Amino acid sequence: MSRKNRRSESSNSIGRFLRRPMVQIGILAIAIAIAAFIIIIGQPTGTAFAREVSVDEAYALYGQEDIFFLDVRQPEEWDEYHAPNSTLIPLGELAARVNEVPRDKKIVVVCRSGNRSQEGRDILLSAGFENVTSMNGGLVTWQQAGYPTVSGP
């Protein structure tokens, strides 16, 4: 048998093999498994936490053991009212005081209306924190929704 005939016969055998439905299903299953593996492995860590949550979503997190509420307002705003069991670190001091923020908890950054909390979140993300979110709407909306607040230092 000539070399050309052997190559042609080999190509036909492979073609017949690949046209079998079970072989096609197997190849498709392998491709799907590889794609799923790439998607799972390609996910960066710490993405379980949205970059911003609503007041209602923040309240749903509130009080959980693995959640740390960080208030970045000024002390006089804090004294007026704040969420119980939250921690005050004013935004202007946060970069210098990041070592006071626990790395083993998910962090919800709050402020009066939601603008400073975004800046606070970004400072923590830049400092290597992964599970950080900011609360959209701030403590004004939190209080209007009837969620708990306390006053005083």
Q: What is the pLDDT of residues 52-109, one digit of tens each?
A: 999 999 999 998 889 999 999 999 999 999 999 999 999 999 999 999 999 999 999 9
In 3D, which of 77, 123, 126, 86 has the Cα closest to residue 105?
A: 86
Residue 58 CA to residue 56 CA, distance in Å, equals: 5
Given a contact cutoff of 8 angstroms between Cβ atoms, the answer to whether 42 and 82 are in contact is no
pTM of the model: 0.68
Predicted confidence (pLDDT) per residue in 116-131, tens digit? 999 999 999 999 998 9
**pLDDT above 70 as % of the chain:** 84
Residue 57 CA to residue 137 CA, distance in Å, equals: 11
Given a contact cutoff of 8 angstroms between Cβ atoms, the answer to whether 143 and 81 are in contact is yes
Given a contact cutoff of 8 angstroms between Cβ atoms, the answer to whether 138 and 117 are in contact is yes
Sheet holding 132-135, edge to edge: 52-53, 132-135, 106-110, 67-71, 87-88
Greatest C-alpha distance within the chain:
96
pLDDT at 44 over 50: no
CA–chain centroid gap for 40, Å, is: 15
pLDDT class of 18 with cuts at 50, 70, 90: confident
